Structure formats: structure tokens, C-alpha cells
Structure 1
Amino acid sequence: MKSASQPTSSSRIALPEGTLTVGVGLFIAGISAFIFFKIGQQALGQDGFKPIVAMWFIAFSLAPGFFLPVEQEVGRALSHRRAIHQGGRPIIRRMIPLAATMLIILAVIITIASPYLTKQLFDGYGVVVVCLILTLVSYAPMHLARGICSGSQRFGSYGIIIGADGAARVIGVAVLWALGVNSVGAFALMIALSPLVGVVGVGLFGKLRTEAGPPAPWSEVTPNLGWLLLGSLFAAALVNAGPITVDILGTNAKPELITQFGNAVIFARIPLFLFQAVQAALLPRLARLAAQGHLDEFRSALRKLLVLVVGVGVAGTIGAFAIGPAVLKLVYEG
């Protein structure tokens, strides 16, 4: 007969709790990215959509690169406190000024670089620089909210935040297209504002509440933040730098070619959405298992993650090579 303190059959579950729930939100986000790019190119043309492509990939290099580690540390710390029956509100109070400081630094750097960005990447549209900063302003609280949800095991709310971001963006650009709006700034603004929809929604339903608890020293919330920042920035750059690099180096390249390259990158990133669903649910689980001393189950979950990463990577690479060109031609006509 098993002791109540021992891991139960949950150790045999292939995927962490919450993976499928988060996966639904990520599926909506992935599909919405395709639709956003399709509608945007229908409304602005592939050449006119190029500044949006540049903004998209810069935003999704910077926002996850800097704020995903905040989300992960919040989720880990809250899950650890949850396992030892301590409230997590002091964790959030520690992380808010840290995230705000990073946001201010990024905004200042972008402002300083705005003349170059406007001329070289955004085809003279200074409003896109403003929307880029607004995008970071929106994604900072979004990642903080996601960390609260994952660390509190509110995976339904986590999925809603992700899915609502994509859905709101698509609805917004669909309305713009239907009204005949062809302003680059208006389409860029949809990227900037959509992350707040899900955050406000789950917040109004009380899903971002945390309990009072003992004070949180910096050592509790930042033990691995430096390494996480380094890894996250490199990962985000690796995933998103392609279109930006082509835009910078391809001085004679036609704008529509850069847009088409961005379309291909969006398609190739599909496997990442599958992994993110596991990552969001697994990190709090690992923190909980470590806090409870269930090291055998901890190792088992980590092994499953490694197998899943390799499997998704291989399947995604083969799939993109096999059907990628046909899908791009069908969806984007090139």
C-alpha cells in the first residue's frame, strides 16, 4: 500500500497537468498569427506589410527575451510556495519593479535607436516605433500574469491569456480590413494592444489574485534570472532574427520578399507552440516536486521533456521541409 506522501499515478502521465489546456490557447495563438499575416497582406499588400513584419519579429525577440524569464521565475517561486503552503503575493511585489525597470531600459534604447529603426526597418513609419514600445508595455504585464497563472495552477486562465491575445489581434485587423483601413499604424497598433485583452479578462474574474505570505528576499525570486535572461534572449534571437537580418542586409531586396520570408518563419515556428504548452505546465510541476522532495518523479518528468523536445524538433523539421512550400503557396500565394 502506497504512502499518501509518495507520488501516485501522476508520475506515469506522459504530459504535465495543464498541458492540453495551455495547448488550446497556443493553438489559437498559432492559427491567429497565420490569419493576421494573411489579412494584413491582403489589406496592405506584401510590400506595404513589410514594416509590420519587421515590427513583429523585433517585438517577439524582445518581449519573450526579457519578460519570459520573469514569467518563469514567478511561476517557479509561486509553485514552490504553494507546495509549502505559503502565500505568494510578496513574490509579485518583488517582480513588478524588476519587470518595470527592464521595460524602461528597453523603451529608452528603442527611443534612442528610433531614427535608424524608422528609416532602415519601418520604411519611414515612425508610428511603428511607438507601437513597438507599446507592444513591450503590453507584454510585460502579460508575462507576469502568465507566471501567476502557471504558478497557481490556473492553466485555464493561462490558456485564455494566450488565446485572447491572438483572437483579439485577428478580430481587430479583420475589422480594419472590412472598413477599408490601409494604415500601417493601425495594423501595428493591433499587435501592441491585443496582449492586454486576456490579462484584463482573467484579472476581472479574480484569476490573478495571490495570497499574503512571508516576505520574499531577492534571493528567492532571482537565483537563476541571469541565466534565464541569457538563454531566453539567445533563443528569441535565434527564432526571430532571420527576417530582421534579411531586412538589414538585403538593402536591394524587394519588400515583398522580406514579407514572404517572414511568412516562412511563422510556419516553421509551429513546433515551438507545441513545446511552449509543455514548458508552461512543466516548470511549476518540477518546482513543486523539488519542494516536496519527490526527486525520482522530478527526474522522470525531466526525461519525458527531453524526449518530447527531440521528437517535436525532428517531426517539425521534416514536416516543414515536406509541406512548407505548398502551404505557403496555398495560404500566402508565395
Structure 2
Amino acid sequence: MSASSAGSYGAGARVLSVGLALTGVVTLAYFVLATYALDARDYGAVSLLWSITFIVATVIYRPIEQLLARTVARGHTFGRVPALIQGGFALGFLIVALALRGPLVELFNGSQALYWILVGAVLAYAASYFARGYLAGSGRFELYGALVFVEATSRVLFPLAVVLGLASGQTAVALGIAAAPVLSLLVVPWALRRRARSAQAAQEGLSLRAGSGFAGGVLVIMAAEQTLINAAVLTTQATAPLLVGVVFNALLIVRAPLQLFQAVQGSLLPHLATAKAQEFSRALRVTVLAIAAFAGAVALGLLAVGPLVMGVFDIDYDYGRLGLAALGLGMGFHLVAGTLNQAALARDRAGRAAAAWVVAAVAFVVWLLLPVVDDPVLRMEVGYLGAAAGLAAMLGMTLRGGG
């Protein structure tokens, strides 16, 4: 791999890191404002809406983002195959959502509005994730960062309007979740204009069978990852509904850095897909060391001032320092696992990687359902750390094998 390619990876990661760091801050602001705009019951429902939206959208659309990133990076046009797969996933979601309308409305405390916001948001993210995959694969990292930043900024305007008295109610806050992915597509015309100038140089290099196989493997991985991130919110909704907002807020410690390090992962897969052995190993080593330093700093910060930081949320709960620090360490292991996962995908080991993710996710859910730790919040914090550490170890062993 040439020095210019390695430099492109590093520059892309830096550009995306800046954009996604700002996005993480704005996303946090959305939930802080929502706690002031809504009572605990309504905020819990919006938190649940967010969790379901991003579980579904990430599981069914991130595979296409990854497929496009790898395919476009190898010099092929994005073509009809990924679009067909993406359309099939979106249609499948719509059919299931309509069939489960009754239970979903009941889950949202009888709110028809939240149900339709869920449907609209997930369908809108089909276009958003497709655009992200193309932008990553073609090296347009500045537009990738702009897309997710516009999305987050658009979303935060809705609870801000409620706090300022320009709007009112749960529906007004929740509408931002559906409107944001639509508004974020304002950056796409710039990418397509450049694409039109170079389209003739690329060739279709992906069959429907190959594309579906790759997307299916990544779909399993994404389902397991979203289980790891969101299962605690759903199990708490079933066992201790008054603590849903508390658990969700604590997990923002995990979500915000994960969103930031999507910048690294977003530029890492296209880089590894064409990297030779020496550069492949170097990129992994540098990324993992950076994650370790970052996670260590976050864990120490949470140990020192974690409860004070969590006080920005208008929720009466005493967060423990050790539990928050455990979440910080777990986040670090999760980021390492995500990096190793990109390496596995680049080496066509999606099946092995998927098995590791499934084992970690199932173990985490079982832990959450067992009354080993009485406090549901502490149970989530300890379980997440253990599951993420185990996952990173399994993915590391996956890469050591041949084939």
C-alpha cells in the first residue's frame, strides 16, 4: 500500500473524527434538551423510539454501507445490486412494521404518532446509509462528516423548539428523529455531481449473489452489535420501566464515542480492502493503540467526575463512579472489537466475525436477565464491560487463524 493511500486513510479518519465529534456533542444535546422538555414517562418513550429506530436502521442498512464502501474503494461502480438489496431490506421492514402495528403502538404507551415516526425514520435512513457507504468508499470523508452533522443538528432543533416554547409535546420532540435523516441528504448533490464526471471509469463488479452474501453476514454482525448496545434499554423497559431513561443516559457514554470512532471505521474498511499485509497490520496497530489511550482517558475522567457530568440530565438518579468507569472501559473494548471486525470483513471472514458477535450478544442478554446484580443499572454496566472484552478477544483470535 502506498504512502499516499496510508495518508488518505489517516486524513479521512481525522476529517471524519472532527465531524463526528461535533455530531456526538449535538446528539447529546438532543437528549439533554429532551429531559427538560418532557416528563419522565414521555422521555422514556422517546428514548425507546430512538433505540428501536437505530437498532433497526443499523442492522438492515449498515450492511449496505459496508458493502458500498468496500466495493467502491476497489474501483467498481455502486450500481444496481446494492440499491436492490437496500430496497428489499426497506420493504421487508415496512411489511413487518405494518404487521406489528398494534404491539408497537402499545409499546409506545398507545402513541400512534410515535409509531408512524418510527416507520418514517427507518425508511428515511435507507437513503442516508446508502449515501454514507458511497461517500466512504469514494473517499469523500468531508461530505460523510457533513451528512451526519447536518442530521444531528436538524434533530436537536426539535426539542430546542419545545424548550423555547415554539412547540410543545412529545410528538414535537420525536419528530426530529424522522426529519433528521431526510434533511441530512442535502449534502448528497455535491457527491453525485462529482460522481457524474467519473462514472464512465468504473465498472459493475458485484453480482447479486456475492452482494447478498456479504450483506447477509454483516446484517448478523449488526444485529448482534445493536443487541449489545441497546438490549439493556429494552430489558429495563420490561423489568424496571422507571429506570429506562437512566439506563439510556448512561449508555450515551458508549454511544457518543462509538459515533466518533465510526469515523475511523468508516475510512478503515476501504483502506484495508486494498491494503497489503504490512500496511494492513500497521493500520490495525495504530488504530487499536489510539483507542486504548482514548478509552483509558475516558474511564479515568468518568471515575473522577462521571456523576457530576451525568447531572446535566434532568433526571433524579445517583450514578456510581465505578459503574460509569466500567462503561468507559467497555466502550474501549467495543471500539477495539469494531476495528478488528473491519479487518475480518476486509479479509472475507464475515462468518467467523459474526459468530463472535452472536456469542457476545447472547451472553450479554442472558446476564441482563439473571438477577446476579440487584441494581439494573450496575448490572448493565458490569455486563457490558465483560461482553465487550470477550468480544474483542474472540475477534482477535479470529484474525489469527488462516483462510
Q: Give the TM bin, normalised by the shorter chain.
A: 0.7 to 0.9
* Structure 1 counterpart of 2:99, one-letter code: I
2:152 is the alignment partner of 1:157: no
2:234 is the alignment partner of 1:240: no
2:290 is the alignment partner of 1:300: no
- Residue 229 of structure 1: how far off its partner (Å): 1.1
- Residue 24 of structure 1: how far off its partner (Å): 2.0
**How do residues 255-294 of structure 1 correspond to structure 2 at under 5 angstroms?**
257-289=243-275, 294=276
Q: Decide whether the 8 Å contact of 2:85 with 2:212 is kept in 1.
A: no
TM-score by length of 1: 0.85
**How do residues 67-78 of structure 1 correspond to structure 2 at under 5 angstroms?**
67-78=61-72
Aligned counterparts of 1:309 and 1:64: Cα–Cα separation in 2: 22
- Residue 161 of structure 1: how far off its partner (Å): 0.5
Structure 1, 142-151 or 210-219: larger mean CA deviation: 210-219
Match of 2:305 among 290, 311, 323: 323
Aligned match of 1:106: 93
**How do residues 1-334 of structure 1 correspond to structure 2 at under 5 angstroms?**
7-8=2-3, 11=6, 16-81=10-75, 86=76, 88=77, 91-119=78-106, 121-203=107-189, 206=192, 209=195, 211-212=199-200, 213-215=202-204, 216-219=206-209, 221-250=211-240, 253-254=241-242, 257-289=243-275, 294-334=276-316
- Residue 205 of structure 1: how far off its partner (Å): 6.2
- Residue 239 of structure 1: how far off its partner (Å): 0.7
Aligned counterparts of 1:9 and 1:107: Cα–Cα separation in 2: 44
Higher relative contact order (CA 8 A, sep 6+): 1
Q: Decide whether the 8 Å contact of 1:271 with 1:312 is kept in 2.
A: no
Q: Match of 2:282, SS?
A: helix
1:8/1:261 CA distance change after superposition, 3 Å: closer
- Residue 267 of structure 1: how far off its partner (Å): 2.6
Listed one character per residue, the Cα deviations across residues 158-201 of structure 1 (whole Å, up to 9, x for unaligned) are 00011001001112332243234223222221101101222123
Aligned counterparts of 1:144 and 1:160: Cα–Cα separation in 2: 15
Root-mean-square deviation (CA), in Å?
2.4
Q: Match of 1:127, SS?
A: helix
Aligned counterparts of 2:4 and 2:187: Cα–Cα separation in 1: 35
* Structure 1 counterpart of 2:255, one-letter code: R
Listed one character per residue, the Cα deviations across residues 182-228 of structure 1 (whole Å, up to 9, x for unaligned) are 23222221101101222123325646736144333225534532221
- Count the aligned residue pairs: 312
1:110/1:219 CA distance change after superposition, 3 Å: closer
1:319/1:245 CA distance change after superposition, 3 Å: farther
Structure 1 gap ranges (5+): 1-5
Aligned match of 1:3: none
Listed one character per residue, the Cα deviations across residues 81-127 of structure 1 (whole Å, up to 9, x for unaligned) are 1xxxx5x1xx24211121111111112222222222222x3111121
1:178/1:315 CA distance change after superposition, 3 Å: same
Q: Decide whether the 8 Å contact of 2:9 with 2:271 is kept in 1.
A: no
1:37/1:127 CA distance change after superposition, 3 Å: same
Q: Decide whether the 8 Å contact of 1:77 with 1:220 is kept in 2.
A: no
1:57/1:153 CA distance change after superposition, 3 Å: same
Listed one character per residue, the Cα deviations across residues 39-73 of structure 1 (whole Å, up to 9, x for unaligned) are 22212222222210110111111111221111011
Listed one character per residue, the Cα deviations across residues 233-278 of structure 1 (whole Å, up to 9, x for unaligned) are 111111122112211222xx43xx3222211111332331332110
TM-score by length of 2: 0.71
Name the % identity.
Answer: 25
Aligned match of 2:355: none
